[in-house]
Structure 1
Amino acid sequence: MSLDELHPSLTHHIVNTLGWPGLRPLQQEAVGPLMAGEDALLLAPTAGGKTEAATFPLLSAMVTENWSGLSVLYVCPIKALLNNLLPRLEAYSGWLGRRTGMWHGDVSASVKQRIRDDPPDILLTTPESLEGLLVSTKTDHRKFFAGLRAVIVDEVHAFAGDDRGWHLLAVLERLSKVAGRPIQRVGCSATVGNPHELLIWLKGSQAGVRPGKVIAPDVPAITEVLEGDPPPAGEVELDYVGSVDNAAKVIAALHQGEKRLVFADSRRLVEELAAALRERNVTTFLSHASLSIDERRQAETAFAEARDCVIVATSTLELGIDVGDLDRVIQLNAPRTVASFLQRIGRTGRRSGTVRNCLFLALNETGLLDAAALLHLWGRHWVEPVTAPPEPRHIVAQQLLAQCLQESRVGDRLWIEGWNGLHPFDASAAPILDFLIDEGHLENDGGMLFIGPRAEQKFGRRNFLELTSVFTAAPEFTAIAGREEIGRVDPAVLATPAEGPRVLLLAGRSWRVTWIDWKRRRFFVEPSTAPGSIRWNSTGGTGQGRSFALTRAIREVLLGGDPPVQLTRRAIAALADARTRHEDHVDGAGTIIGTEDSERRWWTWAGYRANLTLQESLGELAEDFGVTDNSLRLRRDTSTAALRDRLAHKLRAPIPDEQALTGLKFSTALPRSLAVATLSARLADLDGAAHIRDQAVVLR
Structure 2
Amino acid sequence: MNLHPVVTHHLVNTLGWADLRPLQRAAVAPLLAGSDAVLVAPTAGGKTEAAVLPLLTRIAEHGWAGTSVLYLAPLKALLNNLLPRVRRYADWLGYDAALWHGDVTAARRRAILAGAPELLLTTPESLEAMLVSANVDHRRLFAGLRAVVVDEVHAFAGDDRGWHLLAILERLTNVAGRPLQRVGLSATVGNPDVLLTWLQGSGKRPGVVISPDQVGSGVRWRASPPPGDIELDHVGTLANAATVIASLHTGEKRLVFCESRQTVEELGQLLRGKGVTTFLSHASLSVESRRQAEEAFAEARDCVIVATSTLELGIDVGDLDRVIQIDAPRTVASFLQRLGRTGRRLGNARNCLLLTLDGEALTAAAALLTLWAKGWVEAVSAPPEPRHIIAQQILALCLQEARVGDALWPAAWNQLSPFTGPAAGPIVEHLTEQGFLERDGGMLFVGARAEEIFGRRHFAELTAVFTGPPEFVVLLGRGELGQVDARLLAGQAHGERRLLLGGRSWRVTHIDWSRRRCFVEPAAGGGRARWHSGGLAGLSYPLAQAMRQVLLGVDPPIKLTKRAIAELERVRAEKADLAWSAGSVIGPPRGGVRRWWTWAGVRANATLAATFGSVADGFDDTSVRLRAELTPADWADARTRAENDLRLPSVDERALAGLKFAAALPPALAVATLAARLGDQEGAAAVLLEPIRLVV
TM-score norm. by structure 2 comes to 0.97
1:416 to 399, 410, 432: 410
Matches within 5 A, 1:16-31: 16-31=13-28
Residue 100 of structure 2 is aligned to residue 100 of structure 1: no
Identical columns (%) = 62
2:558 to 555, 559, 565: 565
1:275 to 269, 276, 297: 269
Q: Deviations over 1:87-145 (max 9, x none)?
A: 11111111111001101111111111221222211111000000000000001111111
Residue 476 of structure 2 is aligned to residue 468 of structure 1: no
Equivalences, count: 689
Q: Secondary structure at 2:693's aligned position in 1?
A: strand
Q: Secondary structure at 2:345's aligned position in 1?
A: coil
Residue in 1 that maps onto 2:253: 259
2:45 to 23, 45, 48: 48
Residue in 2 that maps onto 1:159: 156
Residue in 1 that maps onto 2:544: 551
Residue 226 of structure 2 is aligned to residue 232 of structure 1: yes
Q: Residue 104 of structure 2 aligns to which amino acid in structure 1? A: V
Residue in 1 that maps onto 2:199: 202
Residue in 1 that maps onto 2:170: 173
Deviation at 1:478, TM superposition (A): 1.5
CA contact (8 A) 2:213 2:220 kept: no
Residue 30 of structure 2 is aligned to residue 33 of structure 1: yes
Instruction: List alignment gaps of at least 5 residues for structure 2.
Output: none
Q: Secondary structure at 1:512's aligned position in 2?
A: strand
Distance 2:208 2:139 in 1: 30
Residue 480 of structure 2 is aligned to residue 485 of structure 1: yes
CA contact (8 A) 2:242 2:271 kept: yes
2:6 to 6, 9, 28: 9
Residue in 1 that maps onto 2:349: 355
Distance 1:448 1:117 in 2: 32
Residue 208 of structure 2 is aligned to residue 213 of structure 1: yes
Residue in 1 that maps onto 2:568: 575
TM-score norm. by structure 1 comes to 0.96
Residue in 1 that maps onto 2:646: 651
Distance 1:282 1:511 in 2: 20
Deviation at 1:500, TM superposition (A): 1.5
Residue 77 of structure 2 is aligned to residue 84 of structure 1: no
CA contact (8 A) 1:101 1:120 kept: yes
Q: Secondary structure at 2:509's aligned position in 1?
A: strand
Q: Which moved more, 1:116-125 or 1:450-459?
A: 116-125
Q: Residue 361 of structure 2 aligns to which amino acid in structure 1? A: G
Residue in 1 that maps onto 2:358: 364
Distance 1:522 1:662 in 2: 22
Deviation at 1:219, TM superposition (A): 6.7
CA contact (8 A) 2:332 2:377 kept: yes
Deviation at 1:697, TM superposition (A): 1.2
Q: Which moved more, 1:545-554 or 1:676-685?
A: 676-685
Deviation at 1:224, TM superposition (A): 11
Residue 613 of structure 2 is aligned to residue 616 of structure 1: no
Q: Secondary structure at 2:612's aligned position in 1?
A: helix
Q: Secondary structure at 1:596's aligned position in 2?
A: coil
Q: Deviations over 1:428-472 (max 9, x none)?
A: 211110000001100000100000111010100010011111011
2:683 to 667, 680, 688: 688
Residue in 1 that maps onto 2:578: 585
Residue 75 of structure 2 is aligned to residue 73 of structure 1: no
Matches within 5 A, 1:311-460: 311-428=305-422, 429-460=424-455
1:637 to 622, 630, 638: 630
Q: Secondary structure at 1:205's aligned position in 2?
A: coil
Q: Which moved more, 1:231-240 or 1:490-499?
A: 490-499
Distance 2:624 2:221 in 1: 29
Residue 487 of structure 2 is aligned to residue 495 of structure 1: no
Distance 1:634 1:309 in 2: 49
Deviation at 1:187, TM superposition (A): 0.2
Residue in 1 that maps onto 2:303: 309
Q: Deviations over 1:274-326 (max 9, x none)?
A: 11111111111111111111111111111111111111111011000111111
Residue 188 of structure 2 is aligned to residue 191 of structure 1: yes
Q: Secondary structure at 2:619's aligned position in 1?
A: coil
Q: Residue 27 of structure 2 aligns to which amino acid in structure 1? A: A
Deviation at 1:411, TM superposition (A): 0.4
Instruction: List alignment gaps of at least 5 residues for structure 1.
Output: none
Q: Secondary structure at 1:325's aligned position in 2?
A: coil
Structure 1 residues 638 and 405: alpha-carbon distance in aligned structure 2, compared to 1, 3 A threshold? farther
Deviation at 1:355, TM superposition (A): 0.6
Q: Residue 364 of structure 1 aligns to which amino acid in structure 2? A: D
Residue in 2 that maps onto 1:627: 619
Q: Residue 641 of structure 1 aligns to which amino acid in structure 2? A: A
Q: Which moved more, 1:401-410 or 1:512-521?
A: 512-521
CA contact (8 A) 2:230 2:351 kept: yes
CA contact (8 A) 1:478 1:522 kept: yes
Distance 2:164 2:96 in 1: 27
Q: Residue 593 of structure 1 aligns to which amino acid in structure 2? A: I
Deviation at 1:544, TM superposition (A): 2.5
Residue 666 of structure 2 is aligned to residue 671 of structure 1: yes
Q: Which moved more, 1:558-567 or 1:40-49?
A: 558-567
CA contact (8 A) 1:6 1:60 kept: yes
Q: Residue 242 of structure 2 aligns to which amino acid in structure 1? A: A
CA contact (8 A) 1:222 1:383 kept: no
Distance 1:327 1:42 in 2: 26
CA contact (8 A) 1:44 1:219 kept: no
